[in-house]
Amino acid sequence: MLRKTKIIATVSSLNCSSKFIARLYNAGINVVRLNTAHMTHDDALKVIENTRQVSDKIGILLDTKGPEIRTCDNNEPLSVKYGDTIRIKGAPGEKSKGKVICVSYKDFVKDVPVGSSIMIDDGTIALAVMDKDDKYLMCHVENDGVINSRKSINIPSVHVKLPALSKKDIGFIEFAADNDLDFIAHSFVRNKDDVLAVQKILNKKKSFIKIIAKIENSRGVENLSEILDHAYGVMIARGDLAVEIPTEQIPLIQKQIIRTCIEKRKPVIVATQMLHSMIQSPRPTRAEVSDVANACLDHADALMLSGETASGKYPEVAVRTMAKIAQEVEDKTSSYMNVPYTLENKITAYLAKSAVKASLRLNTKAIVADSLTGESIRALAAYRGDNPIYGQIYDQRVMRQLSLSFGVFAEYIPMDITSQDSLNKSICLLLNDKQFKEDDLIIVLAGSFGINQGTSYIEISTADNFKKKCI
């Protein structure tokens, strides 16, 4: 059976040859991620060009830094022990020296009150703010460790007044539009305004890139509903989220976000440290296997690999391992979900649900549907049926964007005389390519009144009957 859960792999410019990306593609990736926190435009362009040489079906996702705070550069890392006192200064552009840590947000001292906790590098180092003056926060070190340059900083329960977009973010969003990428994953989204700030730039560039909101702070969780009204999908970025929110709450928050996204027909990605040990080891831990399997049991659209493929020793093995775990879960469990209608087009909503229900009751082998915008395809995917959904798509960009949707296998079909002619030809090619048995039942979801009118009928018959229409 085809694997329905999609896989995103982070690719670094340091290891991005077309041969390497082809190996990842053959191992099971569907989307390539660019982490702009560690890239220049030239670095990103190298990955984009090599990815497009491999396949026109691979989606490309550009990840912005977003409104984040990081430690500044230093000449050497600072080793700290429990009980030490260090000072923190808001000084972007300066270097950390001795016991003074400079951070990238100039109003850091002003915004952070005494009594706050400061977490560095996803919580690896914890500090307690004991005192402050106009220039420094005086902090008590809570555990032994090393503070390196350019590491993330979180202040749980403190809302700092960072702008939605940095100058670097704006440059990369414009770069993404100029290079016709598929997705922008915007980091640290707090509310709808952060999404709209990105959309404003895309609108100016007349770009159709879709925005993925990264949920990695408490405000993002609280404002999920309004964020989903404006974003194409969501990434659950559990690294920073687990620092900002008590760790024990993360599993249930993950399940809640996934369910909400599915109900709203929004692709949802689970990310961060999924197979983290495979950066150094050819085998995952049992806990990591369970983590990946649990995300599949929750019916997430996609899972993401970060350091495992960007800098790890076993990138292909990591992808294959994730693919095998997802396949095992899908083969042994039923994935159907009874979610409510949400589409404005009630006919499409009703027919999509009817098609998936019919596939379960009649033991069909596939659902075939055509689409210009992808809306009817995502409506089918929301029910998480057992059949693969073969999307016959009239727009190449939409075809790539469906690389994030659960159970969807999209093909681009040029518009023929009519959409029906195009679909019939596409079904004929599909039947020949997928080698269905003559008595296999197939469902076709399509429309008779032009692609702009949406779906209007379901047709169910054997592969043999559909083949006869091809003659």
**CATH number of 441's domain:** 3.40.1380.20
Instruction: Identify the three-state secondary structure at position 210.
Output: strand
Q: How many domains does the chain have?
A: 3
For residue 128, being part of any structural domain is answered with: yes
Annotated catalytic residue 70: yes
Q: Are residues 289 and 383 in the same domain?
A: no
Q: What is the pTM of this model?
A: 0.91
Domain that holds residue 416: 346-470
Question: How far is the CA of 122 from the CAs of 106, 126, 239, in angstroms?
Answer: 21, 10, 6
From CA 112, how far away is CA 158, in angstroms rounded? 7
Per-residue model confidence as pLDDT tens digits over 388-426:
999 989 899 999 999 999 999 999 988 765 666 677 777
In a shared domain, residues 171 and 256: yes
CATH number of the domain that residue 124 is part of: 2.40.33.10
75 pLDDT band, cuts 50/70/90, is confident
- 4, 46, 65, 70: which one is catalytic? 70
Same domain for 192 and 255, yes or no, is yes
pLDDT at 194 over 90: yes
148 and 103 assigned to the same domain: yes
Give the pLDDT band (50/70/90) at residue 344.
Answer: low
Q: Is the pLDDT of residue 435 over 80?
A: no
Active-site annotation holder among 5, 272, 321, 455: 272
Q: How far apart are CA 154 and CA 126, in angstroms?
A: 10
The CATH code of the domain that includes 207 is 3.20.20.60
172, 149: one domain: no
* Residue 10 and residue 78 in one domain: no
- Flag whether pLDDT at 126 surpasses 90: yes
Active site includes 255?
Answer: no
Indicate whether 436 pLDDT > 90: no
Domain shared by 358 and 285, yes or no: no
**Res. 359: pLDDT tops 80:** yes
* Residues 144 and 199 placed together within one structural domain of the fold: no
Domain-located, residue 159: no
Q: 3-class DSSP state for residue 106? A: coil
Residues 302 and 223 placed together within one structural domain of the fold: yes
447 pLDDT band (50/70/90 cuts)?
confident
Q: Measure Cα distances from 33 to 37, 63, 244, 305, 426 in Å.
A: 12, 7, 24, 9, 30
Is 214 considered catalytic here? yes
Considering the candidates 33, 87, 353, 365, report the single residue annotated as catalytic: 33
- Tell me: do 25 and 73 sit in the same domain: no
Given the residues 46, 190, 192, 214, the one annotated as active site: 214
447 is a domain residue = yes
Q: Each residue of 288-316: pLDDT tens digit? A: 999 999 999 999 999 999 999 999 999 99
Indicate whether 136 and 253 sit together in one domain: no
The C-alpha atoms of residue 150 and residue 19 are separated, in whole angstroms, by 31
Q: pLDDT category, 163, cuts 50, 70, 90?
A: confident
pLDDT digits 0-9 by tens, 219-240: 999 999 999 999 999 999 998 8
Reported as a single tens digit per residue, the pLDDT across 197-213 is 999 999 999 999 999 99
Of 297, 332, 367, the position where a domain reaches its end is 332
- One domain for residues 356 and 234: no
